[in-house]
A and B are shown apart, each in its own frame.
Chain A
Amino acid sequence: MAEPSVSAGIAATPASENGHDEELRLHFREHWLRLAPATLAMLTVSVIIAGGLFLFLSAPFADDPDARHVALVTAAVAFGLTQVLFTVKVLTYNLSLTIVTTRRIRRIHKSLFFTDNQTSIEIMEAQDTSKSQRGILPSLLGFGSIFIRAERTAMQMEYVPHVDRIYEKLLQLLNEIKREKTAEKALPPEAPRA
């Protein structure tokens, strides 16, 4: 299986020229392990189809050309469908994304056909953040969950790849925003002009 890219791009770019002060900080997909059940299912079904076809072709009645053709076409259609469904799973995995900007954290979950879910949490409203990494696989492969609670809402991100690094980045961003907020409050009011 060609391993799909698990991108955790990090950008540190200045504000755009059009006055839009929102900057991209990082974006990531879920860990590739999320594709493991689909891959295992595809491999299992493929092995069953190949085994069934092999057994059929070894049987004495496989000498009949019509029976052989029906078996081959059935196996080819079943195998083709399995592979197409696997492609759908891989492409859908690539459509689930988390985007962190200087203003908000946005989770996008789309499917190829009908689903289009987007949830967003304002960085300014974020109150508590926590990270969870439990079990052997998460520790070995470095993924985990990040939970963010805001005033009115909460967001749980599961299967976050490089969870330590991404959590650190998030904390850094939250601290930056808080520092900016404090600095704004500490500024003396403008003196009235004469």
Chain B
Amino acid sequence: MTAFTLILSGILPILGAEGILWLLFRRRILEIEFPRMEDRGLFRAQTLRGAGLFTLIHAVAVSVLFAVVLPVFW
């Protein structure tokens, strides 16, 4: 197994899983109702940005760890 294949097989499942979780989260957030459209829009934007940033940083950090550790010890 080449280093490239190894890295991909470590990174892709993590990025895919966290991406699916974020999509599920987005679907659930869109269900929350506020009395006014403006408040709802602001809440959605803030929450999706915060959670999206966390998910992205977390997924990238785990992927980098896989990309470093797996080829070194394989």
Residues of A within 8 A of B (CB): 2, 4-5, 7, 9, 11, 13, 16, 20, 22-24, 27, 53, 57, 68-69, 72, 76, 79-80, 83-84, 86-88, 90-91, 94-95, 97, 99, 101, 108, 110-113, 116
Chain A residue with the shortest CB-CB distance to B49: A5
* A83-B74 Cα distance, complex, nearest whole Å: 21
* A111-B25 Cα distance, complex, nearest whole Å: 8
Q: CB-CB contacts of B16-31 with A at 8 A, as 1s and 0s?
A: 0110011011001101
* A108-B32 Cα distance, complex, nearest whole Å: 8
Chain A residue with the shortest CB-CB distance to B10: A76
* A72-B71 Cα distance, complex, nearest whole Å: 10
Majority-rule SS of B interface residues? helix
A112: chain B residues at CB < 8 Å are 21, 24-25, 28
Contacts known (A11-B39, A24-B39); A80 close to B62, Cβ less than 8 A: yes
* A113-B28 Cα distance, complex, nearest whole Å: 9
Chain A residue with the shortest CB-CB distance to B26: A91
> Can you give 5 A-B contacts (C-beta < 8 A)?
A24-B36, A83-B14, A84-B17, A95-B29, A111-B28
Contact between B21 and A94, CB atoms less than 8 A apart: no
* A99-B27 Cα distance, complex, nearest whole Å: 19
Sorted nearest first, the 5 A-B pairs with minimum C-beta distance are A22-B35, A91-B25, A5-B50, A24-B39, A112-B24
| CB proximity of A22 to chain B, nearest CB, Å | 4
Contact between B18 and A84, CB atoms less than 8 A apart: yes
4 extra interface residue pairs, beta carbon distance < 8 Å, beyond A5-B50, A80-B13, A91-B24: A9-B42, A80-B66, A95-B29, A97-B32
Contact of B43 among A16, A27, A57, A72 (CB under 8 A): A27
* A87-B24 Cα distance, complex, nearest whole Å: 12
* A112-B20 Cα distance, complex, nearest whole Å: 10
A86: chain B residues at CB < 8 Å are 58
